[in-house]
Structure 1
């Protein structure tokens, strides 16, 4: 997928989804998917990572269905509730979003026509399309974030502080195992959060599939890359980065874990910051 750049009144996005080095060598399609919409002056984005396992041979389609369904549901949520400022009201309304996304994903999967799924009961059919999902809706005064399965959502502040959205690390899974939209209780295990108001110092939100994080030597290096993206956007602008992001993500996969990589950068630039501390590998070219 060629890089996407869309600008809203309050938030903009630069995003790309790239086939991993290992999949390029084997001729396997990108299992990740990405969907973006400009809504109410802000941005709705969804990133999905199909499992790519023998038990989920259509996970690339499942990821696409997930990203598109989530983006549509977030757009509808923003259009219905854009004027609401009360946290509790928004929180109560947001509690229904995971179920809406899961139901729409299931509808798309159930109505799809693939040979291997013919005659299967719906529960078994959905496993063929298994995928994770991360999504975000950022408008002027509030944000809605959701995640099911692995991947990362990082907040970068204008003082270069980086935080994760979710507190605590799940020890439920090891290795490549993760939660999935194909699970019967997918809506109840989806993490979600309403942020009202958005912290003024929040400068960038990074969403990425796990192939990005796994390509760094450490969590600290991964977090530093998020800050580097923020600095590069400020110094060079999104148009320049759009020309380079595909190449940089390909290099990251080549030199990292070899998995597919999808990265979405939602940002609002405030002031120019020196590039003196930017990682050389990221600033090259």
Structure 2
């Protein structure tokens, strides 16, 4: 099983006009265009408000933290043991251990950015109670960021999300699915963040087993996975219109008359310009997209 990987991140049109940095980041492991599992793709969206004035750094540290923790996790024999009977238990285990470790790792990295004399608390401690900010939590706030992760293993996909953004995959005949449903509790520009007290509580996790046949057309496994920061979906008038993007990208890849690799190259060559145009005509926000193409 091999996958093709494509990533792009662009400065939003409104940020370009106001001379604000791109506050999104992404990271891939291994950093190869075509690779077998395990594969980790992480995206992060730094918050754009005035109090989040270091969120461009926060988002970079977020994807670094995720890659480091999950690289170790993918070495665990536990992954090979995931099955239909224990998958819910595994979701909980990942949330309670892996996500907690990501938060801890991010906090350590943020602490390394601060001047020692400015630190008035223990960055390594984790506030387990929600909505009770400490002095350290206030120091974390400027780095506030979301996190989206897809992990591809030989037997399953692991999807992890904190805050807004979208993870979509295509299965069957143009069937778009969300491994993690949209959070209806998040309205307008509200989002969960790594800088929140008890941030680990807000992660959502879903493992999906590969090799399960679709009864409609006998297909199995996602053919295309897309992760994107919210600047992308916010550029469309409806979820339905946004989800059509995945179908359109799939056609460019899989229906290219010159073959699959030519389709992938077409997207790599044009994705940034497409995203810039989308931001200009849509949300005006930074947009980051990760595509994982099933080459089997």
Partner of 1:17: 9
Count of paired positions: 260
Give TM-score scaled by structure 1 length: 0.84
Instruction: Sort the Cα spacing of 1:152 and 1:119 in 2 relative to 1 into closer, same or farther, 3 A.
Output: same
Alignment partner, residue 196 of structure 1:
209
**Structure 2 residue aligned with 1:183, among 196, 200, 215?**
196
Query: Is the CA contact (8 Å cut-off) linking 1:110 and 1:122 kept in structure 2?
Result: no
- 1:216 is matched with which residue? 236
Alignment of 1:1-285 (within 5 A): 9-38=1-30, 41-81=37-77, 84-87=80-83, 88=86, 90-91=90-91, 93-95=93-95, 96-113=97-114, 118-119=118-119, 121-167=135-181, 169-197=182-210, 199=212, 200-234=220-254, 235=256, 236-269=262-295
State the distance in 2 between where 1:119 and 1:66 align.
20
- Which of 235-244 and 129-138 deviates more? 235-244
- CA distance in 2 between counterparts of 1:244 and 1:104 reads 35
Report the CA distance shift for 1:229/1:82 in structure 2 as closer, same or farther (over 3 A).
Answer: farther
From the superposition, tell whether residues 114 and 150 of structure 1 become closer, same or farther in structure 2 (CA, over 3 Å).
Answer: farther
Distance verdict in 2 for CA 1:195–1:173, change over 3 Å: closer
- CA distance, structure 2, for counterparts of residue 267 and residue 82 of structure 1: 25
Q: Are the aligned partners of 1:58 and 1:128 in contact in 2 as well (CA < 8 Å)?
A: yes
Q: 1:240 to 1:85 in 2, by over 3 A?
A: same
Aligned counterparts of 1:42 and 1:231: Cα–Cα separation in 2: 26
Distance 1:83 1:190, change over 3 A: closer
Aligned counterparts of 2:101 and 2:111: Cα–Cα separation in 1? 15
Displacement of 1:37 after TM fit? 0.8
Structure 2 unaligned segments of length 5 or more: list them.
121-134, 213-219, 257-261
- TM-score, length-scaled by structure 2: 0.81
Q: Name the counterpart of 2:125.
A: none
Report the CA distance between 1:91 and its aligned residue: 4.2
- Cα distance change of structure 1 residues 83 and 70 upon mapping to structure 2, 3 Å threshold: closer
Structure 1 unmatched ranges of 5 or more: 1-8, 271-285
Q: Deviations over 1:109-155 (max 9, x none)?
A: 1221369x935532111111001110010122111110000000111
Distance of aligned partners of 1:122 and 1:12 in 2 relative to their CA distance in 1, 3 Å threshold = same
